[in-house]
Amino acid sequence: MISYGRQSIDQSDIDAVVEVLKGDWLTQGPAVETFENDLKSYFGVKHCCAVSNGTAALHLTGLALGWHPGDVIITTPITFLATANCIVYVGATPDFVDIDPISYTIDPNQVEDKVRSYKSKGKTVKAVIGVDFAGHPCDWKELRQIADKYDLQLVNDNCHAMGASYFDDKQYAVKYADVVTQSYHPVKNITTGEGGAILTNDPEIDEKVRRLRTHGVTKDPHLLEVNEGPWYYEMHELGFNYRITDLQCALGINQLKKLNLFVQERCEIAKRYDESFYGIDILTIPKTKSSINHANHLYPLQINFEKLSLTKAEFFEKMKQMGINLQVHYIPVHIQPFYHKNYGFKQGDFPVSESFYYRVVSLPIYPDLNYDELQFVISETKQVLDMIEV
Ligand SMILES: Cc1ncc(COP(=O)(O)O)c(C=O)c1O
């Protein structure tokens, strides 16, 4: 079965993990720090804290930024649930802003409108979480300007865009956002199995997420109320076990060396899809704004099912019968029953996101997808949609 995404593992990855298995540290050892240092150099950031997954990274970000009940945090409906859930975890209030129809990322103009509308009611927005959806960076220059103008915290949920460039800069994420979160789930551009990280130039945020990663415990002599000996630690705040293991970090260290190559391979696949589907009126291929080098984590193809005698569910089923497992990214978060019941969001609130959802399918894209498989996906897509060239 060809899946929409999967990991790329070679012998060097296996060797790196086996090396750690033979050593002294399966967790809390030196591979964690090495991985964090490698991430710091690749992404050009002062601090990096690797954690157990991208959701934990978002949760700790909300805590470290001091989000509390009553605070409003804005994000996009077109994202994985975790981006919005982290707002709920800390008791703050989630709200959404629709996407830009070209980049499918949060629309900065509507962010400003929403912030102003809260202001006019005497309420303030505390933070905005932008998501570099599918590997296309948000309009970070605009978002930064709005954040500075209205004193907002800016978070980049960067899980899809590792290896992308913004104005020719692969290290863009931490230059605009106060905190950047990543995930290394197997379908992402690099993997550690499960894993994630919080990247920031702010030392206080880094210290806080590090403490919270390990139960809220500190051994820092400056923070201890007393010091009873070398074994001594204190807990001043409630934390978690959100640690990543050395096995995972060994894999991450090796994968990061291949990130540029992985992204290049993804771009070649995306280019082939673009060429094959360009100019077909029922299809909309993903677009890339001129300031961007896309990381092509996903290939979101929009299909105008209204013009076809086939539903999206039937298309999925037919492709599955041919051995191709598609996905949809994403069901807009605001129409999830939880967000409807608890916050009153409903169909129609964010029309661009909703119409994107009705049409979008994610085609397979990952470095190990070979030429024959790619050609097969293209020809089956055309055939099932009944567009085969004669
Ligand atoms: C945009 C986005 N945010 C957050 C997450 C959560 O990451 P994880 O699955 O590592 O918890 C994901 C992963 O699917 C994601 O795609």
Mean pLDDT of 237-254: 98
Q: Is 373 exposed, middle or buried (0-12, 13-18, 19+ CB in 10 A)?
A: middle
pTM: 0.98
What integer best gives the mean pLDDT of the chain?
A: 97
Give the mean pLDDT of 233-249: 98
Given a cut of 80, is residue 390 above it in pLDDT?
no
* Distance between Cα 160 and ligand 1 center (Å): 8
pLDDT mean over 276-289: 96
Residue 315 tokens read as 């298309």
Q: How far is the CA of 196 from the centre of ligand 1 (A)?
A: 9
pLDDT in tens, 137-174: 999 999 999 999 999 999 999 999 999 999 999 999 99
Pocket test for ligand 1, best of 60, 80, 179 (most atoms within 8 A of CB): 80
- Bridge partners, 181 (sequence order): 157, 198
pLDDT at 388 over 90: no
Index of the ligand 1 atom closest to the CA of residue 56 = 11
Helical segments of the chain, H only: 11-21, 30-43, 54-64, 81-89, 108-120, 140-150, 173-176, 203-213, 246-257, 259-277, 312-321, 337-343, 351-359, 371-384
The ligand 1 site (C-beta within 6 Å) comprises: 53-55, 79-80, 82-83, 131, 157, 159-160, 183, 185, 196
Residue owning the nearest CA to atom 10 of ligand 1: 54
d(CA 127, CA 111): 11
**CA 172 to chain CA mean position, Å:** 15
Distance 325 CA to ligand 1 centre (A): 20
pLDDT of residue 133: 98
pLDDT score for 386 = 84
Please name the residues in contact with 243: beta carbons below 8 A apart, sequence gap of 6 or more.
Answer: 27, 28, 32, 51, 52, 213, 214
State pLDDT tens for residues 46-97.
Answer: 999 999 999 999 999 999 999 999 999 999 999 999 999 999 999 999 999 9
Q: Per this entry, what is the length of the chain?
A: 390
